[in-house]
Amino acid sequence: MKYHDSVMTKELVGALDVKKGGQYIDCTLGDGGHSIAILELGGKVFGLDVEDGSLERTLARVRSLGNKNYIENLILKKANFNDLDKVAQESGFLQVDGVIFDLGYSSSQLVDSGIGLSFMENQPLDMRLDKNLGVTAADLLNALSERELEKLFFEFGEESQGRKFAKAIVEARALKKFETTNDLVSLIIKISSVHEKIHPATKVFQALRIAVNLELENLRSALPLAAQLLLPGGRMAVISFHSLEDRIVKQFSIVQPGIELLTKKPILPSSEEVRNNPRSRSAKLRVFEKTNRNDQIKTTQI
Of 216, 202, 212, 214, which is closest to residue 137 (Cα–Cα)? Answer: 212
What ranges do the domains of the chain cover?
9-108+215-290, 134-213
Give pLDDT tens digits for 193-230: 877 778 999 999 999 999 999 999 999 999 999 999 99
Domain 134-213 bears CATH identifier 3.40.640.10: no
pLDDT averaged per 10 residues in sequence order, the chain, 302 residues: 84 94 96 95 96 90 94 95 94 95 84 87 93 93 98 96 97 97 97 84 96 96 96 96 94 88 93 90 95 48 47
Do the domains spanning 9-108+215-290 and 134-213 agree at the CATH topology level?
no
Q: What pLDDT was estimated at residue 1?
A: 67
**CATH for 9-108+215-290 (3.40.50.970, 3.40.50.150, 3.40.50.20, 3.30.70.20):** 3.40.50.150
113 and 107 Cβ atoms separated by less than 8 Å: no
Give the C-alpha separation, 184 to 56, whole Å. Answer: 31
Q: What pLDDT was estimated at residue 110?
A: 79
Q: What pLDDT was estimated at residue 107?
A: 74
Q: What pLDDT was estimated at residue 297?
A: 37
From edge to edge, which strands make up the β-sheet containing 23-26?
Answer: 74-78, 44-49, 23-26, 96-102, 230-240, 284-290, 259-261
Give pLDDT tens digits for 2-18: 777 789 999 999 999 99
Helix, strand or coil, per DSSP, at residue 123: coil
